[in-house]
Amino acid sequence: MSSEQITAAASGSWQLGDLTVNRVGLGAMRLAQHGQALTADAVPMDRARAIAVLRRAVELGVNHIDTAAFYFSPLRSANELINHALAPYPDNLVIATKVGPARDSSGEWLPPATPGQLRGQVEENLRQLGRDHLDVVNLRVTGPGSIAEHFGALAELREAGLIRHLGLSAVGPDQLAEAQAIAPVVCVQNSYGIGVRPGQDDFVRACGEQGVAFVPFFAIAAAGREAGASGADSDAVLHVARELGVSAAQVRLAWTLHRGPHVLAIPGTGDPDHLVANVAAGALRLPAEHLAALDAAHKVA
């Protein structure tokens, strides 16, 4: 079967609360611009290309899209692109967004939202996406310490019907426990991948034991982060890619999915060919010897 024929269903599925998603989704951060994301001077993405990527993703069975109101460049907004490309939304499409960080209209970063400002951020996502409720809202945390006041504000919006499910982003085990004492948490989004934060391994497993999805970001980009993949992959990743006849990015995604059935992938791309390859990585099963080599490379990073 060619890559173009593989759908996101090949990756398996997971429950985000009462919502079923395929384990390979799509991150929307790269749809708004070429190159470096989240900068005031970003080069806008071609609108037709971004819309084509979104529609092709849904055709390939992607039913989990991760976005945020602060994903924008001059002329382009990820949320607006999603709305234009996909509304009226398929019944099985789950759109997850993030609140907490904020940028002004010029693209410059503002101080993180206070608890009282979170409702405005939620309502802005609703407006941009053209929704009457948000499927999943992740509280993006900016550092250690208590998150009770911020998460409590989102829990109130969940009770009011504006949010269906809650998640967390950039958190540790103590913050997850604190949030769970307030309201159910369906997912945790943290930076993670081969050689990226191996100290997170125990937390990844603990999330699975608690039935919480772990949704790594920068699984492909790694140290490149907002700039994208740097091409500086380890010898182990490159060796496995050659052995299996796939790309280094596909190896990275496959390894991520092998970390547990609760691990979901949200690779971001504005390239239609990369989208097809990312979805196809969900069907890649890594042999034991290759997994061992990749695990070793991960731990020594």
- pLDDT at 231 exceeding the cut of 80: no
Position 229 scores a pLDDT of 56
Average pLDDT, the chain: 94
For residue range 50-107, what is the model confidence (pLDDT) as tens digits? 999 999 999 999 999 999 999 999 999 999 999 999 999 999 999 999 999 999 999 9
Position 265 scores a pLDDT of 97
**Would residue 89 show up in a list of annotated catalytic residues for this protein?**
no
Position 283 scores a pLDDT of 97
Catalytic choice (71, 151, 203, 255): 71
How far apart, in Å, are the Cα atoms of 282 and each of 41, 247, 262? Answer: 34, 13, 14
- pLDDT at 277 exceeding the cut of 90: yes
Pairing status of strand 43-44 against strand 33-34: antiparallel
β-bridge mates for residue 98, sequence order: 138
- pLDDT at 224 exceeding the cut of 60: no
The secondary structure of the chain, three-state, reads CCHHHCCHHHHCEEEECCEEEECECEECHHHCEECCCCCCCCEECCHHHHHHHHHHHHHCCCCEEECCCCCEECCEEHHHHHHHHHCCCCCCCEEEEEECCEECCCCCEECCCCHHHHHHHHHHHHHHHCCCCEEEEEEECCCCCCCHHHHHHHHHHHHCCCEEEEEEECCCHHHHHHHHCCCCCCEEECECECCECHHHHHHHHHHHHCCCEECCECCCCHHHHHHCCCCCCCHHHHHHHHHHCCCHHHHHHHHHHCCCCCECECCECCCHHHHHHHHHHHHCCCCHHHHHHHHHHHHCC
For residue range 123-163, what is the model confidence (pLDDT) as tens digits? 999 999 999 999 999 999 999 999 999 999 999 999 999 99
Q: Please give the average per-residue pLDDT across 253-269, as a whole number.
A: 97
For residue range 96-128, what is the model confidence (pLDDT) as tens digits? 999 999 999 999 999 999 999 999 999 999 999
Place of tokens 């384990």: 23
- pLDDT at 226 exceeding the cut of 60: no
CB burial string 274-297: b at 16+ within 10 A, e below: bbbbbbbbbbbebeeebeebbbeb
- pLDDT at 4 exceeding the cut of 80: no
Position 227 scores a pLDDT of 47
For residue range 267-276, what is the model confidence (pLDDT) as tens digits? 999 999 999 9
Position 3 scores a pLDDT of 72
β-bridge mates for residue 169, sequence order: 140, 189
User: Residue 130 in contact with residue 87, Cβ under 8 Å?
Assistant: yes
The two structure tokens encoding residue 165: 């499910």
User: Burial, 110: exposed, middle or buried (Cβ in 10 Å; 0-12, 13-18, 19+)?
Assistant: exposed
Position 233 scores a pLDDT of 85
Position 2 scores a pLDDT of 65
Q: Please give the average per-residue pLDDT across 193-211, as a whole number.
A: 95
Place of tokens 């019907």: 161
* Angstrom distance (rounded) from CA 39 to CA 265: 24
**CA neighbor of 172 nearest in space, from 156, 192, 154, 153:** 192
Considering the chain, what percentage of its residues have pLDDT values greater than 90?
90
Position 97 scores a pLDDT of 98
Place of tokens 């603990």: 206
223: confidence class by pLDDT, cuts 50, 70, 90: low
